[in-house]
Amino acid sequence: MTEVADLVPHLAGALIVGGVAVAFSRRREYVLRWCAWAAGVPVVVAALAAGAGGAAVLAAAAGVVCALEYGALVRLPRLDRAVLTVAVPVAPVTAWLAPDQVPRLFALAVLVIALVPVLTGDATDGLRRLCFGVLGLVWFVPLIGVVLLGPVVLALFAAVSIADIAASLGGRRLGGPALSPLSPGKHWSGLLVGTVAGLAVLAVLGAFTPPLVVAVAVGAPLGDLLESMVKRGVETKDSASWLAGAGGLLDRLDSLLLALSLALVLS
């Protein structure tokens, strides 16, 4: 699998199968999730088909939205949000134009974000600002994987998206032990169903490689739990509310972000 065009028929089939499944579920939230996925797939396909430049633009745009949502979610001051919102999209653009400079850029961004509360002399809330700011950068920098991993990102995106819906459906139907106190509504049964579905998608798309298998089976569910931990820490249900029935973009990309991290590390 080397070309984005090779994946399009399979993705169209997955959309159809997914649409039938959510229709039979008769749950509004699943229908809305499917609609968001159906709208997002053509955008992702078009961006990746345009090459590394298109992938960089896509990742940068997603990074801006995620950084804005995250900054509001954890209640960062405007200056901290502005710095984070600039640093995050610069990473995938650098990965496109000067990939060798990504480590230097990351180190510089961490330094700047850490110094913002120091230089403003915030003795009361400075530590919280520093921790949340650095966490946001570390969380979103893996978007460089959209550029560096190439067309295989499309297979990873599809596998993680389908695994997420399958896990939710399977957990509701099968029940059983809760997956984690961080997300009591999720079950081990759902994790198993979602993992099988996600790995099946990788196999169908010809992307069943060890790095992507680990990314889908381990990274995706851990990414979801990571966002659940953050949201519980700030006592908020969703990262935003502009996506009908789906919260915000960060709520949809939480699993993909950690999956990208593992795919990058293992590739």
Say how far apart CA 139 and CA 106 lie, in whole Å: 12
Q: What residues have CB less than 8 Å from 244, skipping those under 6 apart?
A: 32
Chain mean pLDDT for the chain: 88
Report whether pLDDT(26) > 50.
yes
Label residue 246 by pLDDT band (50, 70, 90).
low
Residue 168 has pLDDT above 60, yes or no: yes
Question: pLDDT for 215-243, tens place per residue?
Answer: 999 999 999 999 999 999 998 887 777 76
What confidence category does residue 46 fall into, taking pLDDT thresholds of 50, 70 and 90? confident
* In the chain, where the domains are located: 1-49+151-267, 52-148
pLDDT in tens, 180-215: 999 888 899 999 999 999 999 899 888 899 999 999
Range in 43-57, 150-164, 233-247 the model is least confident about? 233-247
Percent of the chain at pLDDT > 90 equals 59
Residue 119 has pLDDT above 80, yes or no: yes
pLDDT score, position 83: 96
The whole-angstrom separation of Cα 106 and Cα 213 is: 27
CA 234-256-55 angle, to 5 degrees, is 120
